[in-house]
């Protein structure tokens, strides 16, 4: 529950809805009452429908798994290291990692053509959306302007190595292990 509350603080706009998978970690009285209290619409994916969570899982693969890897982490120290990594990664990805959004798909004979919009960072997309008041936009612009992308990248890399070291310390000697990459 604490993670959900803390996660909602990361968004620069109010959360209108939460759509979860069908796991018991999400569908419980605590989450339902939190959503009701905060006036957040709470819905769940359809059972055994893989398409419901594909976009979230794609981002997990493209960002989280690429940086953290697939290894198991345990212990308070590993949890703290992972939280520090996520804090730095959150800023780095949202401010400095552009992505292209699929705008349209159309078939030309046997070829499927995809049309993408211009590459933009999530922060740029948010600022262009017009969803935020001007004061909040100025705050975010000032925050991003004060960041050094190279220093932030180095910080993410160091934190990534610290998390990987936590995994290595837990791993039995001789087990094959590969470091995830950013």
Structure confidence by residue, pLDDT tens digits, 5-42: 888 888 888 888 888 776 776 778 888 888 899 999 98
Spatial distance between the Cα atoms of 75 and 59, rounded to a whole number of angstroms: 25
For the chain, how many helices (H) and strands (E)?
Answer: 8, 4
Sign, CA dihedral 35-37-38-41, equals: positive
Q: Domain locations in the chain?
A: 71-170
Question: pLDDT per residue over 99-138, tens digit each?
Answer: 998 899 999 999 999 999 999 999 999 999 998 999 999 9
Cα 21 from Cα 53, distance rounded (Å): 7
**Run of H or E including 127:** helix 122-129
In angstroms, rounded to a whole number, what is the distance separating the alpha carbons of residues 14 and 37? 14
């Amino acid at each position: 529950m604490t993670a959900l509350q803390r996660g909602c603080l990361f968004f620069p706009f109010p959360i209108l809805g939460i759509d979860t998978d069908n796991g018991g970690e999400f569908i419980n009285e605590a989450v339902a009452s939190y959503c009701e209290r905060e006036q957040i619409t709470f819905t769940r994916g359809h059972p055994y429908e893989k398409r419901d969570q594909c976009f979230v899982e794609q981002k997990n693969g493209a960002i989280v798994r690429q940086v953290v890897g697939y290894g198991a982490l345990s212990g308070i120290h590993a949890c703290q290291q992972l939280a520090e990594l996520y804090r730095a990664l959150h800023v780095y990805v949202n401010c400095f990692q552009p992505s292209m959004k699929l705008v349209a798909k159309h078939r030309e004979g046997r070829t499927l053509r995809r049309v993408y919009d211009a590459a933009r960072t999530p922060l740029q997309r948010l600022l262009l959306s017009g969803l935020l008041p001007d004061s909040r936009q100025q705050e975010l612009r000032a925050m991003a302007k004060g960041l050094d992308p190279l220093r932030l990248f180095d910080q993410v890399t160091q934190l990534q190595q610290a998390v990987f070291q936590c995994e290595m310390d837990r791993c039995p000697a001789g087990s094959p292990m590969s470091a995830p990459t950013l």
